[in-house]
Amino acid sequence: MPGLSGTERAGCTKILKSMSKGDILSLSDTVTNKMIVVEDESEAIETILSFSKNAEELLKRRKVYREAIFKYLAKEGVAMPPNSEKHQLMKRTLEHWSPGKGKADERCSRETERTASDSTNLKAGESFDPLVLGHEFCQWFFQLLNSQNLSLGQQPQEWGPQHFWPDAKLRLLSSTGSEQMAEFLGAELVSLRLQSLAREERLLLSPNLEPLGLRALASPHGLVLVAVAGTIHRDAACLGIFEQIFGLIRSPLEKNSWKIKFVNLKIKGREALGEAEIAAPALTYNSTELQLFCR
């Protein structure tokens, strides 16, 4: 029996933990043919992992619903169309767990842990590439923000004003039926307003980190712009798309960590999009327009 790799085991554990107790116990009975009696959920999960021939077999199980796989991918920062079939979600999940991807994720995970504990401490090497910074920043930021959504059933990570400059600014433009614009000044207010998107409004922001959805550029004055597009979800429903621009500046007093100077967030609800394709939204800003934010 080939069994599950370490990456597959960790991923399957997260998916199983998002399932109901009844489904987990029922699945344990199925995979063991009721030959093993388990006492609780954690024992059932361990049994399911041990008795599964491979990750694909486990994901195919009837009790592993497509919604559980979709939510797992969203938490991992992997954008998928909200109407994806289960077999499409399975294929993308297995790709996400493949050995090459695993090493990249491990590096991103280490970077993410480092940034979370050290105020987005994404240090550039000698050959600084804004796009690499942008990709790693988005992985970190959206995992952190989405963890504030308590309906996902995960432990919220350490969110707060420490990730922003004291004079940070948020500009929020929302087109959901009518158009509304609001601005928030100061690290505390900006932090609280962004957090409320996930915590109070229960939104899940899934960024499109493919080339059409992500751009980054650096100004000569030390500002790095990161622009990203993505989809917005609540539970299993896709509500619309977003475009978000971050201005990042290093803080020499805090181990040269990157902190957020400003955020521009545009939200468009489905009703404002008409027939537009929203599966993997592309940025509408070009490089020239982004450079205007550097001024």
CATH number at residue 158: 3.10.450.50
Lowest mean pLDDT among 181-185, 199-203, 277-281: 277-281
Residues 182, 266: one domain?
yes
Residues 123, 255: one domain?
yes
Domain boundary among 66, 96, 126: 96
Residues 153, 253: one domain?
yes
Residues 181, 236: one domain?
yes
* Among candidate residues 117, 80, 113, the one with its CA nearest the CA of residue 213: 80
Kindly state whether residue 102 falls inside one of the protein's structural domains: no
- For residue range 55-75, list pLDDT tens digits in order: 999 999 999 998 899 888 888
Domain boundary among 42, 62, 96: 96
What is the predicted pLDDT for the residue at 289? 74
- Is 50 within 8 Å of 27 (Cβ atoms)? no
Residues 230, 273: one domain?
yes
- Is 174 within 8 Å of 267 (Cβ atoms)? yes
Kindly state whether residue 197 falls inside one of the protein's structural domains: yes
Residues 225, 86: one domain?
no
Q: Angle 251-226-113 (CA atoms, 0-180°, nearest 5)?
A: 60
Residues 24, 137: one domain?
no
The amino acid present at 172, given as its one-letter code, is L
- For residue range 218-273, list pLDDT tens digits in order: 888 889 999 999 999 888 788 889 999 999 998 777 666 889 999 999 998 877 66
Kindly state whether residue 109 falls inside one of the protein's structural domains: no
Kindly state whether residue 50 falls inside one of the protein's structural domains: yes
Kindly state whether residue 105 falls inside one of the protein's structural domains: no
Mean pLDDT of 70-99: 85
Phi, psi of 67 (to 5 degrees): -60, -35
- Is 18 within 8 Å of 73 (Cβ atoms)? no
- Is 241 within 8 Å of 266 (Cβ atoms)? no
Residues 84, 123: one domain?
no
Residues 78, 41: one domain?
yes
In angstroms, the Cα distances linking 189 to 164, 183, 184, 252 are: 10, 10, 6, 23
Residues 49, 128: one domain?
no
- Determine the Cα–Cα distance for residues 45 and 11; give it in Å rounded to an integer: 12
- Determine the Cα–Cα distance for residues 34 and 13; give it in Å rounded to an integer: 21
Residue 2's pLDDT band, with cuts at 50, 70 and 90, is low
Domain that holds residue 245: 117-294
Residues 61, 174: one domain?
no
Number of separate domains in the chain: 2
Domain boundary among 96, 127, 154: 96
Per the confidence metrics, is the pTM higher than 0.95? no
In angstroms, the Cα distances linking 27 to 43, 45, 49, 57, 93 are: 12, 9, 11, 12, 20
Kindly state whether residue 126 falls inside one of the protein's structural domains: yes
Predicted confidence (pLDDT) at residue 104 exceeds the cutoff of 70: no
Q: DSSP letters along 69-118, please?
A: HHHHHHHTT----TT--HHHHHHHHHHHTSHHHHHHHHHHHHHHHHHHHT
The amino acid present at 183, given as its one-letter code, is E
Residues 263, 134: one domain?
yes
- For residue range 15-40, list pLDDT tens digits in order: 999 999 999 999 999 999 888 888 89
Mean pLDDT of 199-225: 89
- Determine the Cα–Cα distance for residues 27 and 45; give it in Å rounded to an integer: 9
Kindly state whether residue 108 falls inside one of the protein's structural domains: no
Number of neighbouring beta carbons within 10 Å of residue 77:
24
Kindly state whether residue 104 falls inside one of the protein's structural domains: no
In angstroms, the Cα distances linking 201 to 158, 197, 218 are: 19, 5, 33
3-state helix, strand, coil in the chain (%, to 5): 45, 25, 30
- Determine the Cα–Cα distance for residues 230 and 244; give it in Å rounded to an integer: 9
* Among candidate residues 13, 14, 47, the one with its CA nearest the CA of residue 31: 47
- For residue range 175-188, list pLDDT tens digits in order: 877 788 999 999 99
Lowest mean pLDDT among 1-15, 39-53, 261-275: 261-275
